[in-house]
Structures are given as structure tokens and as C-alpha cells.
Chain A
Amino acid sequence: MTRVLSALAVATLATARLLAHHSSAMYDQQKTLMLRGVVTQVRWTSPHVNVSVLTDAGRAEPGVAWVLEATSPGNLMRAGWTRTSIRVGDRVSVVVAPLRDGTHGGWCRGLTLEASGKKLEC
């Protein structure tokens, strides 16, 4: 138990604060993951947009709730997004740089709306 608690304490110290304005260095930009699932929340907020995705369940594992982060609404707007480009319930595939600590968060690098095939850069 002591070992588990120690590991948790280290994880707490090591995880940077994601709310508010921050660097994206807590994400491992050398890794990419492809997630597929359903959008459960879109938060079109400054200074960073957040999109929650419930990934598809596999044969052996349940779906997982991920929180994905992107740049600011202004920067996304200039990359072709609007506040309603993605909506709750949309099926998406997303390329992410995952959090280094292994928790289910990632930096959105590109998102595809499966219904239309439309691609959005994050």
C-alpha cells in the first residue's frame, strides 16, 4: 500500500495543471494515438478548447472517457473550426499526443468527423 501511495503522490506532483493557460509539454509529442469514439462534451473556451470523447469499447475492454485539449478558440477558428464544428454525439477519430503520465488525456493533433469525413486540424 505504501508503494501505491508513493506512486500516486509522485503522479500528483508530476502532473501539470491543465486548467487555465499552460504549456503543452505534459503531452508526449513524440507519441501519437488514434482514438475512435463519440463526443460527449465540447467546451469552446479560452484559453484552451476541450473535447471529451468516449472511446469505443473493444471485445475485452470498456470504452474510456478521454479529455482532449486543443489550442485557443481564436487559433482554431483560423484553422477552419467554428464553435459548432463538432457536437455532442458526433462520431470522431482523433489523433492525439497522449499525456506522459498515462492518464486519459491528450493534445488533439487532428480530428475527423466520421459522418462527413471532414478533417479539422487542432
Chain B
Amino acid sequence: MPAPLPDWSGIWLPDLEDQVAQIESNPLPWTASAAAEVKRLTAAEQAGHPKGLFANCLPEAMPAWMLVSHNALEILFTPGRVTMLGESDGNRLRRIYTDGRSHPADPDPSFHGHSIGHWEGETLVVDTIGVFPQTYIAISEAVGIPNNGGLHVVERIHLTGPDVLVDELAITAPKVLTATWHTTRRFKRQKGANADILEGVCLQGSFAEQTDARGDAVFTPVPHTDEGNPVPPPAP
């Protein structure tokens, strides 16, 4: 009889202060080329001109979702699988197979990769490959470098207290990192009245709910300036 699974119910909010502290105290072993680009992007962000890594509404993807997300996630256990669902952009979904399968020999590239996991006591160990080379290894929503291929992520996810979940990540990206980067991210549990994940569709903010000439309820693009800023409604 397998050991009972731990209680990871509720939703998990990323510890944003810890995200920053991790980046400051545990810098990535970037290659020289990647380090130069990180320096340039960081200067641009600090000057108020962030690149906007996720402004195209493609998924934050692996590993950036785990590293820099500002939004809640929930974790579902079903037989043979652990599923992570993220809030806000609606396109955050990790399927982690715990049914004993192996990775495919040649996985189709995807934003979240092919993940297999197993339980070591109450720790979920996850191995992920098959991620698009374009997904970012990010240190903020404005500073990140595409992994450029060969990404391999191993995670050990476990509770360190009743309401603190820690993801210990080992990120190998031979095109942009000179060594495997070990880092951790913390998530705080919330349960109760405000612990439902809200639906989020990344492009929703670009559309307004309106009624067309036929009287049909429709979504129409939000007026915006050439720079992408929403235009305020006309004064009443």
C-alpha cells in the first residue's frame, strides 16, 4: 500500500520577497554572453523601460513560471498524475506524470516540457525535459534569457511547514549557464473564502465587453495608443 500523499490543498501564493532575495543572494552562473544581456536588460528595467518578457501573452512557461510568477497556483493530485494550474494568464498548466513512465525518446517541444515525477516520502521529485528553447530563464518579468535548448529541470517539492511549500530547483541549461543552478522558491498556502483560483485569460485585458449593432454581446479590441496604452474613456 503506497504511503498517503501530503495535503497540498488550497492555493499557493509565490513569496515575492523571497524571489528577489534568492536572485540577489544566489546569482545565476550565466555565460559571459548571457551575463552581458542580463546586465543590459536589468539596466533597461531599472530605467523604466522593461522588455516585457511575457507581454505577448505566451505562457510564462518552464522554468520562469516557477521562478518569477506573481500569481497563485493550485496543485491537483489524481491517480498517476500531479497537475499544476496557474492563475491570471490561463495558460499555465503542468502535467507531471507519476505513473512510472519514462520520458519519450524525442519529446515534442512544449512550453512546460515533459515532466515525470515520483514521491520520495512526502517530497515530489520532478524531472522535466522537452521545453522549447525560447522559454526564458527569468529573474523578473523583464529580465530573462531564452534557455536556447537542452534545458533540464529537476525539482524537489515539499512542505517545510503547515502552509509553506518549497520548490528546490536544479536548472541545467548548457547554452546559457556554465553550471547547474540550484535555487529555491517558496509558496504560501491560502485556504478559505478567498482561496478560489479565478479564471484568467491573458488577452482579456485587450478586449472590452460590448454590444454590437445587432444587439449581440461581443468582445471588441480596447482602444489604445500606438504605444499600447489603453485610452481612457471620454469624459462624461
Chain A residues within CB distance 8 Å of chain B:
11-12, 14-23, 25-28, 40-41, 43, 45-48, 50, 52, 54, 63, 65-67, 71-75, 77-78, 100-101, 103-105
Contacts and interface: CB of A to CB of B under 8 A. Distances in A.
Given A20-B205, A47-B205, A74 B229 contact: no
Contact of B229 (A18, A43, A100): A18
Nearest to A103: B229
Given A15-B229, A22-B50, 11 more contacts: A12-B227, A17-B52, A18-B227, A18-B229, A23-B141, A40-B236, A46-B90, A47-B205, A52-B232, A72-B71, A74-B198
B45 A25 contact: yes
A46 B89 contact: yes
B43 to A, nearest CB: 11
Interface of B: 13, 45-46, 48-57, 70-72, 87-90, 140-142, 190, 194, 197-206, 208, 222, 224, 226-233, 235-236
Contacts of B235: 40, 54, 63, 65
Q: Is the interface of A mostly helix, strand, loop or mixed?
A: loop
Say what secondary structure dominates the interface of chain B.
Answer: loop
Nearest to A71: B70
B88 A16 contact: no
A67 B206 CA distance: 14
A73 B141 CA distance: 18
Contacts of B197: 74
Contact of B227 (A15, A73, A78): A15
Contact of A12 (B71, B226, B230): B226
A65 B45 CA distance: 26
B44 to A, nearest CB: 8
Contacts of B227: 11-12, 15-18
